[in-house]
Amino acid sequence: MSGRLDELQARLLDGDRRALSRVLSWVENGDARGREMLRRLYPRSGRARIIGLTGSPGAGKSTVTNEFAKVCRARGLSVGIVAVDPSSPYTQGAILGDRVRMAELHADRGVFIRSLASRGALGGLSAATQDVVHVLDAYGKDVVLIETVGAGQDEVEIASTAQTTVLVNTPNMGDDVQTLKAGIMEIADVLAVNKADLPGVDRMVSALKALLSLAPDRDWQPPITPLVATKSEGVEQLVDACEAHHAHLVETGRLADAESARARQQIVALARGRVLANLLNEIGEERLSQLSTAVASRSTDPHSAAEAWVGGE
């Protein structure tokens, strides 16, 4: 097996898109070969700019991602795109439709797009998103753009995955601006107001400014950038704003801190999964079922059951 992996690794590092694609699938599926490739490739990652785009469904995240990629390409940067869409909680199936808005990138060998289903993860990404980003980074992409599911207010996971997080707003959510809870405002490094061809842009910009003035003090003031993604207007400014944020991270030494924080968060998440899997292995599904039945029938309570399962302090 290792001979085959050697060959695949060499092809991937030589820019072979098919090798990259296969490794991404292994990594996404938690395949042992994916783990091994990640172990080999990880030391080569850490060079790409990682930019997240989040915002409500229909705000234009995919369209903005497409335009963002075009500007990066014009600036001579290669681009990886990771677009996450939700899996059905009932069937585990998914329709991944973000490529529809990125059709014009298909002929450009400098762009690689991978669609991911959230596969039950709730934070707006999938469990494997970080690893997929690491592989694209090691492959040599200068910029990796991550489009989140966009399901709402809980998508703070992107902030610990991306170096710069863009929140894509639209003018017609002007009245709903109150619903932009503190959490999502705090993770946004750049506030895009897309669909600036629609009425209400100024109102939206003022509303965002007002919200920012209420947010806790940061040494970075998130810029507000109006754009019309469908007409490629304002995208240069958006990309510049992300550049400025990155420069700020470098100057303040935050970039390295953020990378450690990201690593820590990923280690903890992976360790948690392992501990849980070990517990399930050791104590067994059967014991867990017994405890669940006992809790359901009120012969014990959930805390006592958990303690009976893993042992008390």
Partner 1 sequence: MPDTDAAAVAEKIRVLVAKPGLDGHDRGAKIVARALRDAGMEVIYTGIRQTPDMIAEAALQEDVHVIALSVLSGAHLELFPRIVDACRERGITPQNTLFLGGGIIPPDDAAMLQGVGFSAVFGPGAHTGDIAAYVREHVPALDRS
Interacting residues with partner 1 between 252 and 281 (CB under 8 A): 269-274, 276-278
The strand pairing partners of 168, in sequence order, are: 192
Shortest Cβ distance from residue 67 to Mg ion (Å)?
Answer: 13
Residue 229 engages ligand GDP in binding (rule: CB under 6 A):
yes
HSE-up (13 A, CA, CB side) for residue 138: 24
Among 33, 114, 195, 245, binds ligand GDP (CB under 6 A): 195
Which one of partner 1, Mg ion, ligand GDP, none interacts with residue 174, CB within 5 to 8 A by kind? none
Phi, psi (rounded to 5 degrees) for 231? -115, 15
Q: Which amino acid is at 187?
A: I
Interaction of residue 54 with ligand GDP, rule CB under 6 A: no
How many residues are there in the chain?
A: 313
- In 3D space, the residue among 227, 231, 252 whose CA is nearest the CA of residue 53 turns out to be 227
User: Which neighbouring-strand residues pair with 41?
Assistant: none
User: Which of 216, 224, 151, 145 lies closest to 186, judged by CA?
Assistant: 216
The dihedral over CA atoms of 176, 179, 181, 185, expressed in degrees to the nearest 10, equals: -10
Among 39, 107, 178, 282, binds partner 1 (CB under 8 A): 107
Question: Is 98 an interacting residue with respect to Mg ion (CB under 5 A)?
Answer: yes
Choice from 5, 13, 22, 244 touching partner 1 (CB under 8 A) = 22
Residue 131 lies near partner 1 (rule: CB under 8 A): yes
Binding ligand GDP (rule: CB under 6 A), the pick from 80, 150, 174, 226 is: 150
CB of 171 to ligand GDP, least distance (A): 9
The span from the CA of 145 to the CA of 152, in Å, is 19
Residues 201 and 160: their CA atoms lie apart, in Å, by 29
113 forms part of the interface with partner 1 (CB under 8 A) = yes
The residue behind tokens 């897309």 is: 194
Q: Which of 258, 283, 116, 126 is nearest to 187 (CA)?
A: 258
| Chain contacts with partner 1 (rule: CB under 8 A) | 4, 17-18, 21-22, 24-25, 28-31, 35, 87-88, 91-97, 99-100, 103, 106-107, 112-115, 117, 119-121, 123, 127-128, 131, 157, 269-274, 276-278
Where on the chain is the footprint of ligand GDP (CB under 6 A)? Answer: 55, 57-63, 101, 150, 194-195, 197-198, 228-230
Positions touching Mg ion (CB under 5 A) are: 61-62, 98
